[in-house]
Amino acid sequence: MAETQSDIEYDIAEPKADSLIHSIRSFGYDLATALADLIDNSITARAKNVWVNFFWDGAFSWISIKDDGIGMTQEELVKAMILGSKNPLLPRPANDLGRFGLGLKTATFSQCKQLTVASKMKERDISVRCWDLDYISNCGQWRLLKKGSNNLESESFEGIEQGTLVVWDKLDRVVDEEAVVDDDRAHDHFLEKAALVKKHLAMVFHRYLEGPNPLKIWFNGKLVSPWNPFLIDQKATELLTVEPLFVNGKRIEVRPYILPHHSKISQEDHLNGAGTKGWNAHQGFYVYRNKRMLVAGDWLGLGFQMEEHYKLARIQIDIPNSLDQEWSIDVKKSKARPPQNIRQDLKRIAKLTRERASNIYRHRGKVVSRTTSTEFIYLWKQSLKHGKVSYKINREHPLIRECSKSNNENQVLESLLRMLEETIPIPMILLNYSEQSDNIKGPFEDEPPKELNAALENSIKALLNQGLTINDIKKRLLAMEPFDLYKEYVIARCEEFEEENT
């Protein structure tokens, strides 16, 4: 006979308040991801403004996050303070940034020991509740206090009809417990952490901060400007084909962007494009849940490495919150794993985007014309023999051909070319490239100098000697390194040449 609920024997084994409350401090947030989790709640509560303030007072420093969202009744507030206040399996409205009923508490306790929340709905009184970890440790019970931080009074709801104020005190994970007010180093450290938080918020919420009726985040009184990873305001940014993909019948959108080569944007824009992690670490997929960024550049375990020459590839993916389980969204909202059925598609898109990005990176932003029948002529060629890569000088390059023709001591030239090929300082180049790729000079960089002029003249002559017309020569040169980088210059010189010789 089947067992009924009432037949089952059990003990009630409640978690111990004083131990569990400390264990939940280790979810792995940092200060920035923790504060972002609180702003998620403000956005879900339809806030138009969020005010984040850092107050320095040595060991008693504190942080406040206030919003003008819909607020909570006293009953709702008490519920909100409970760990696991909502069932993660239940569906949520499409614009809800929450999932687990944990964030407010886990994010807070990762950074501090006292959480006070004051909330007010329109035309209602303010309700206050507070968790104090020291107090819970002492009493061993889940006692939610009805009175909160002493700092509540200095932050008020003046001028706003509704909203929620969160105050973090006892910031033991942010400030040293021994820190005194006039310790300049500790103060600077606190300010540095605040600056990092500001950058993180500008990044993860950029789509809320952009566009019509944007959300306003005020950080220590200053409005936060969005950081858009795709540099969409730059003319040279390319958007490749936008693709919809489907998971369980729900739509995901993938938008691959190729960012401009640094020579196409100002130094300031290039610096700004580096974001918080730097150009190299910011390549890959950017996963957004609703408009909130979860992942800021990652190849999502699809088998690709972060490499310097793919750094211009940044791919936006939009997922709805109804696919949280399929994407294995975590409590911190900082990870996402693509579901099995779209991994192949994402790999394909990543491969194409990476190829294109690497082309732009290598050709310094010049688009090599694919419509011309003229094959691109490289001076250097890569060769693979017995699994080993080496670099060879192209003996078919017009200048090389011309030299070997006119040079009677042909073997001397050949020996020189072989020596050059065998002694390329690859380790040194690689090292410089990975450390300061943007400071490596491009071929005849900046102004076409005398040497470029000479190379151009000699190339034109060499090709004339091979019986080509000036028109064909022009096409050849435009498909040849480094002349492809000096298009206008080459065209003008060929035209001059034609005039001189007619």
Instruction: Look at residue 401 and give the partner it binds from ligand ATP, Mg ion, none, a contact being a CB closer than 5 to 8 Å depending on partner kind.
Output: none
Give the residue with the Cβ less far from ligand ATP, 207 or 289: 289
Give the residue with the Cβ less far from ligand ATP, 86 or 363: 86
Instruction: Give the nearest distance from C-beta 26 to Mg ion in angstroms.
Output: 18
Instruction: Look at residue 49 and give the partner it binds from ligand ATP, Mg ion, none, a contact being a CB closer than 5 to 8 Å depending on partner kind.
Output: none
Site for Mg ion in 29-58 (CB under 5 A): 40-41
**Exposure on the CB side of residue 220, measured as CA atoms within 13 A:** 12
- Measured CA distances, 337 to 140, 230, 298, 330, 345 (Å): 38, 21, 10, 10, 14
Q: Nearest Cα to 336, choosing from 318, 313, 353, 348?
A: 318
Query: Site for Mg ion (CB under 5 A): how many residues?
Result: 4
Instruction: Look at residue 189 and give the partner it binds from Mg ion, ligand ATP, none, a contact being a CB closer than 5 to 8 Å depending on partner kind.
Output: none
- Measured CA distances, 283 to 245, 279, 311 (Å): 21, 7, 5
- Using the structure block, give the residue that is written with the tokens 């972002």: 36
Instruction: Give the nearest distance from C-beta 144 to Mg ion in angstroms.
Output: 18
The token duo for 130 is 């507070």
Give the residue with the Cβ less far from Mg ion, 103 or 273: 103
Instruction: Look at residue 484 and give the partner it binds from Mg ion, ligand ATP, none, a contact being a CB closer than 5 to 8 Å depending on partner kind.
Output: none
Instruction: Give the nearest distance from C-beta 41 to Mg ion in angstroms.
Output: 4
Instruction: Look at residue 99 and give the partner it binds from ligand ATP, Mg ion, none, a contact being a CB closer than 5 to 8 Å depending on partner kind.
Output: ligand ATP
Instruction: Give the nearest distance from C-beta 44 to ligand ATP in angstroms.
Output: 6
Q: Which residues lie near ligand ATP (CB under 6 A)? A: 37, 41-42, 45, 67, 69, 72, 80, 85-86, 98-105, 164, 331
Burial 81-102 (b: 16+ CB within 10 A, else e): bebebbeeeeeeeeebbbbbbb
Give the residue with the Cβ less far from ligand ATP, 336 or 360: 336
Instruction: Look at residue 100 and give the partner it binds from ligand ATP, Mg ion, none, a contact being a CB closer than 5 to 8 Å depending on partner kind.
Output: ligand ATP
Give the residue with the Cβ less far from Mg ion, 83 or 393: 83
Give the residue with the Cβ less far from Mg ion, 36 or 478: 36
Give the residue with the Cβ less far from Mg ion, 88 or 443: 88
- Measured CA distances, 16 to 12, 70, 100, 144, 466 (Å): 12, 34, 21, 15, 88
**DSSP 8-state code for residue 145:** B
Instruction: Tell me how long the chain is.
Output: 502
The token duo for 388 is 């080993």
Residue 297 binds Mg ion, judged by CB under 5 A: no
Cα radius of gyration rounded to whole Å, the chain: 31
- Measured CA distances, 472 to 242, 374, 469 (Å): 38, 9, 5
Which residue among 21, 64, 80, 103 contacts Mg ion (CB under 5 A)? 103
Per CB under 5 A, residues contacting Mg ion are: 40-41, 98, 103
